[in-house]
Structure formats: structure tokens, C-alpha cells
């Protein structure tokens, strides 16, 4: 399985980090070893002093496919969850300044937290959107919605399947809204889809 991540997919987040707003999806990958499931704790690694949380909607791919046409994209996902893309911001700034890849800052072990998956129809609101929140120590810090994405999941599937074959079980992190910030040992994070709790993660 692959963990496919989309960067800068919310205008407000791109602006809060001083990044250009992209005209096509920004794609990067995390390895399977980045996964952190089942509400397990995240242990702060010793190679970074400035790791940030980034709450995101995560879709699970349910069919194999390549060169997927827009009218067929909905055949490729049925479930969604909330995830956290942990990012070593200090390392990211170093590699960006040198024009190097992001993997050291984004793809380290347990940097992709994923909550419980729910059927799309259970969490889609009356307007056809999926809304989610991430809270830190009981205080809401991020609010996201499919309505605010520059590239929705259908756009993403069309674009990335031109280059990469999608496989059953692949996960797509769809980008984070504004409100990212540093984590600290002792923090506790929770993610909700609509009114349903799907993710818990404590920092050790």
C-alpha cells in the first residue's frame, strides 16, 4: 500500500506558511512504516525540535486503477477518516532552502496518524460536504471541509492516476487547513468527522 499526500490544498494554510498557492495538486509520499493506527501514542523523535501537527481528511482506495476518468472516480473510494500528517518543520525548512525532497521532514516513522474509517454516506452533510475538526488538549485548533479544498478527492484521483497506479488499500491524505502548530510531549489530539470521534493520539 501507498500513502499519497497532497500539499497546500487549502489556500489559508498555504498562506499561513508563506507558500505559493498551487495550480495543480502537490504530491508526495510516505512509506508504510509512517502509519500510526489504533489510537497509539506518538513518541517524539530526537532528530527534530519542531514537529507540527497537520490534520487532514484521509480517503481509502477500494479498487485498482490507472488513468481514471472523472465519471468513474467515485468507484475508487467508499470510506474516509481523519489523519495527522506530522511534519518536522525545522528539517522541512532546511531541505526546502536547498531544493531537496521533503521525505526527511514528512516520511519518518509514525508520521502518518490515521483514525477509524467511516462510510462516506455517514459523514456527508446535507449540502454534500464532509466537515472535520482536529482538537489539541480539548481545544479545537483546525476546522476543515471538502468545500474548502482547492482540489477535491475526485480531482486528486484523476490527476495522480495519470502517473501512479492506485491500489486497493492506498491512503490519500488530502491536505490540511489553516491552524497547524507545534506539538509537545504530553499533548493529546482528537479528530472528528462531523459529530463522530474517529481519532485519538497522545504525544509521549
Residue 98's domain is classified under what CATH number?
A: 3.90.850.10
Residue 144 has pLDDT above 70, yes or no: yes
pLDDT band per the 50, 70, 90 thresholds, residue 70: very high
**How many domains does the chain contain in total?**
1
Mean pLDDT, the chain, rounded, equals: 94
The string of DSSP letters for the chain reads --EEEEES-SHHHHHHTTPPPPSS-EEEEE-GGGEE-TT--BPPPTT-S-EEE-EEEEEEE-S-BSS--GGGGGGGEEEEEEEEE-EEHHHHHHHHHTT--SHHHHSSTT-EEE---EEHHHHB-TTS-BEEEEEETTEEEEEEEGGG-SS-HHHHHHHHTTTS-B-TT-EEE----S--EE--TT-EEEEEETTEEEEEEEB-
Give the structural domain span for 155.
3-202
- Its pTM stands at 0.94
User: What's the pLDDT score for residue 12?
Assistant: 62
**100-134 pLDDT per residue, tens:** 998 999 999 999 999 999 999 999 998 999 999 99
Amino acid at each position: 500500500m501507498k500513502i499519497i499526500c497532497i500539499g497546500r490544498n487549502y489556500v489559508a494554510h498555504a498562506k499561513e506558511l508563506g507558500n505559493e498557492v498551487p495550480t495543480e495538486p502537490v504530491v508526495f509520499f510516505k512509506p508504510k512504516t509512517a502509519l500510526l493506527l489504533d489510537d497509539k501514542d506518538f513518541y517524539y523523535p530526537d532528530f527534530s525540535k519542531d514537529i507540527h501537527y497537520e490534520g487532514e481528511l484521509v480517503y481509502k482506495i477500494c479498487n485498482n486503477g490507472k488513468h481514471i476518468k472523472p465519471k468513474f472516480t467515485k468507484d475508487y473510494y467508499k470510506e474516509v477518516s481523519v489523519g495527522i500528517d506530522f511534519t518536522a518543520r525545522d528539517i522541512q525548512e532546511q531541505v526546502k532552502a536547498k531544493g531537496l525532497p521533503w521525505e526527511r521532514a514528512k516520511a519518518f516513522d509514525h508520521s502518518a496518524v490515521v483514525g477509524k474509517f467511516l462510510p462516506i454516506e455517514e459523514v456527508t452533510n446535507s449540502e454534500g460536504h464532509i466537515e472535520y475538526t482536529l482538537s489539541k488538549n480539548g481545544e479545537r485548533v483546525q476546522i476543515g471541509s471538502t468545500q474548502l479544498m482547492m482540489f477535491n478527492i475526485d480531482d486528486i484521483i484523476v490527476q495522480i492516476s495519470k502517473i501512479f497506479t492506485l491500489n486497493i488499500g492506498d491512503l490519500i491524505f488530502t491536505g490540511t487547513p489553516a491552524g497547524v502548530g507545534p506539538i509537545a510531549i504530553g499533548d493529546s489530539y482528537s479528530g472528528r468527522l462531523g459529530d463522530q470521534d474517529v481519532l485519538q493520539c497522545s504525544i509521549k
